[in-house]
Amino acid sequence: MIRPIVLLGGWLSSPGDYAAMARTLATPPYNRIVYITDFGRGAWAALRDPDFAPVLDVLASTVQLALRETGADRIDLIGHSAGGRVARAYLGHLPYRGTTYDGQRYVATLTTLGTAHTTYEVWVKEFAGLVNERYPGAFYQHIAYTSVAGRSVRGRRFGRLEEILAFRSYEVSFGDGDQLGDGIVPTHCCFLAGADNLLLEGARHAPYNAPRTWYGAPDVVPLWCESLIRRPGGVEGAVLYENP
């Protein structure tokens, strides 16, 4: 049975940011059907902590679309950056703001890319705290969790532009700018207890400033996607779907 991939982007992202990554996953050796959750920059910008129900609703609809169109009973879920945290909330069996998503019924694997599972970001503090309190670590034993962290940029108060920007991101969101990370998120914040934690030397956070070295780049995907090859669900001749 085909097991499709559902991909959820990160904060202030657009579905188009992940089109190239989806094409990579739809070609050999992965041969997967990929659905990109249609949640754009404006929708992300409109979210206010702790109400992330709008993106959870769209993710839940995308998962149901993938199951309905492929006939699969489970999907492989990939969340980039903040999308990984939202994905963990979607798995949850407890009510959230009046809705019980209980996505753990439909998900076989969860892969998070550059997700700050440990964060001090004031704009997601309540939501992140709720997720970690209710569903700590790799919470559901029947789901295979993989958490991918990059180590490529040391934040510096004075240095190259990339280092200065990393310093500001690390400091504002995580309390200390002088540390190693993927240019946006410090490496150690991406580790999730009980998950298969992968450290990628040289991987950067996002496609807009590192199209050849970010987590979804063609040369980087094979470094973390081996688990999706080993686990059942691939299919020869799969085509790329984008959630309209």
What pLDDT, in 10s, does the model give residues 70-107? 999 999 999 999 999 999 999 999 999 999 999 999 99
Cβ-Cβ contacts under 8 Å for 15 (sequence gap 6 or more): 9, 36, 37, 38, 39, 40, 242, 243
% of the chain residues with pLDDT over 70: 92
- Amino acid 208: pLDDT: 86
Say what the pTM is.
Answer: 0.92
- Amino acid 239: pLDDT: 26
Render the burial of 188-225: b for 16+ CB within 10 Å, e for the rest. bbbbbeebebbebeebbbbbeebeebbbbbeebbeebb
- Amino acid 228: pLDDT: 65
Please tell me the distance from the alpha carbon of residue 91 to that of residue 102, in angstroms, as a whole number: 5
Please tell me the distance from the alpha carbon of residue 185 to that of residue 174, in angstroms, as a whole number: 8
CA atoms within 13 A on the CB side of 159: 14
> Residue 240 burial (CB < 10 Å; 0-12/13-18/19+)?
middle
- Amino acid 119: pLDDT: 81
Query: What structural domains does the chain harbor?
Result: 5-150+186-230 (3.40.50.1820)
CA atoms within 13 A on the CB side of 226: 7
User: Both tokens of residue 189?
Assistant: 């914040």
Are 186 and 201 in contact by the 8 Å Cβ rule? The answer is: no
Please tell me the distance from the alpha carbon of residue 163 to that of residue 88, in angstroms, as a whole number: 30
> Which residue reads 């080993």 in tokens?
230
Handedness of CA 143, 32, 150, 199 (dihedral sign): positive
Are 230 and 220 in contact by the 8 Å Cβ rule? The answer is: no
Give the residues of the chain that fall short of pLDDT 70: 1, 227-244
